Structure 1
Amino acid sequence: MSPRPSNRFVGAVVLAVAVAEGVLTTVAEEDPHGIVPIAIAVLALLVRERWPLPAFLATLPAVLFPGTIVPVIVALYVVSSRYRDSWLLTGCGLLASAGLVFPMSEFAPSIWDFHTLLGVIYSTMTALAPILLGQFLLSQRELALRLEEVKEAREHERRLDAEAILARERNQLAREMHDVVSHQVSLIAVQASALMVSTTDPDAKQAAGNVRQLSVNTLDELRHMVNLLRASGTPATELTPQPTLTDLERLIGNSAIDAQLVGTAPEGLEPPAQRAIYRTIQEALTNVRKHAPGASATVEISHDDTDLTVTVTNTRPTRPNLALPSAQHGLVGLHERAALLGGKLHTGPMPDGGFQLRLRLPITAAGIAHR
């Protein structure tokens, strides 16, 4: 992506100021040898966006001799706007402040020299300013990115809600069509069959056979239309058969986070138990994506003779997170699912800053088949 015109203009102004400072400093010092470190520092500014740390180091000699400060301040700002490492920023700030104070000290014999102490204070503040500005702009970019993610997540949830409402309406309409129309057509087919058996009139028998055949064809077409109605315009998770544990790999692979599955569930689980496990993992991964950006997750399934345990653990987030209000409906639904199967759901933070969700279901609970 090419830089915007405003960014190019700012870069050109920065270079112009650096060149002007270098020229004026060289003239004031009356030493033509100072043009070499100044030229290196100005050239380093041309690659500061691509290689911020090398560019910063290349500007330090110009601070010591002949004493230009614009390139090092600009390079220090770029480093601060790219990195969060406090040790790295502290080291760069100390190098910059040391380079700034060295020409001011005039080789003072004592560190307690009044002018040297003032130089230390001024240089430290000069080096601190671009670091703080860079960190502020870095936080602003991360916040804008996080807000965009939240906006996309809300839009995705809005679409899912609309699709869920549409799916319920379509399913209700399909059930009504199936229950009412198929019942009436089935009665017609039964009565036509009875007429075929009871009548001796060939024309009536043929007419009854035609009515019966048309009724059977109508029932077949009705079932086909009902299936199309249930499947039309709604997401696969709502209209295809309910998910099972065989779909876990696809769920984890499509979760948009770094997640892995450990362990397997026992064979013979009834569909309600499989749905509860699937929905629990789905909700946990969704919460990781929403509330722990950049975190990785581990989905562990284990069981013994009495209990089946599903644990979803995520690490601490690596990107800033916004404290958004939440009604906790997802977790409430998971608690209800667990309770219906005689199990329990536990959630809570981890000591390392992560979060853990644990579902425990008894093997012998209602809805779980014995092995």
Structure 2
Amino acid sequence: MKRLPRPHRHDVQIAVAGLAGGVLLWILGLFSRGSGLLGGGWALVPLAVTAALELLRRTRPQCAIVGGTAMVVADQFTAGNLATILMFTDIVYAAVLYGTSAAARRIPVTTGLISVAVTIGFLAWFRTPQALLVGIVTALVSFAPATTGALVRNHRDAAEAATLRAEQTALLAEIDRAQAVVAERARMARELHDMVANHLSAIAIHSTAALSLDDAATTGRALTVIRENSVAGLAEMRRLIGLLRDSGAGSEPVAAPTLAGLDALLARARTNGVSSGLDFALHDTRPPGAALPAPVELAAYRIVQESLTNALKHAAPGTVTAALAHTGRALTVAVTSPYGDRPGPRAPGSGAGLVGMRERAVLLGGTFESGPEPAGDGGRIWRVRAELPVVEGESSV
């Protein structure tokens, strides 16, 4: 058998106070009517039952209002007790406040119609203006508490909805913050990899050559290249630290690399690739004076830089070619390198470079592809190709 829920302590207090007050009125002989069909003692029965129904006002509001209505009707056949009427008004109020949504809409309408019907009925019966008082009392006992309960419930629901919206807003803000942190960490990782990997790859290749070849001249050239790349790598690291550090007022922003620096980039790659039999060439077919958005220039520069770094690590002897073409709506970046076995030392790769290049292209709304392709001389090449939109509104950034 299902047990009834335990009544709320406030409901118990209301029931005890109502019952005690009603008994006190009965002892003092204060009745709501002078007489009734039943004796004065019978007024205690509706009083006690209504007080018991108060225990259900919060847990079983529908049962409480049905029973309370029956007790109010029964009270009319006794001398009457004011406490019974007052407890009934509280039951009506609680039925709207704690009942279902359908009950909260139905009870005010029902009590309003009952109040109007009672007023019209008594006017037709008594045919005196005093009959309006019966309708007013009926409205005060039923319609007024029902309307009050509806107003309180609406305010409560509005407050809960506002709290829920605030919690959802805070949750969305936290999600946005977390996504922004992840995106910024990914951007920092790409910058760190693209700026430093080129120099570290050259250092790894030449240090391996210096250790494996017992030749003073080769060792001297390798140490020279190692020193140059170490100094350049430190400079790049300082630039990155300057970007990350909170600079004070009056400090000048550090300029991002542009495509104008590709000649210097390829010159450094030629120096680093001598020991591996690599040469580097640049084919720039862009129309002179064509302006590019800064994010596009940075992405194109980094893609070329990372492609040259990968060529230094893995390309077979031959010529590495970087090509730029501007079609008016997009900038095309293509880097090809000989694909096959290579003699001499190799620097290990992590695969993060290809991921970073793809991310840079996708963030600008462009495309990226890489992989081996057949060459015209019967050999194979490794091609990296990115297409970066340059027309305003086509970029996703």
Q: TM-score range by the shorter chain?
A: 0.3 to 0.5
Normalising by structure 2, we get a TM-score of 0.44
Which structure has the greater CA radius of gyration? 2
Using structure 1 for the length normalisation, give the TM-score.
0.47
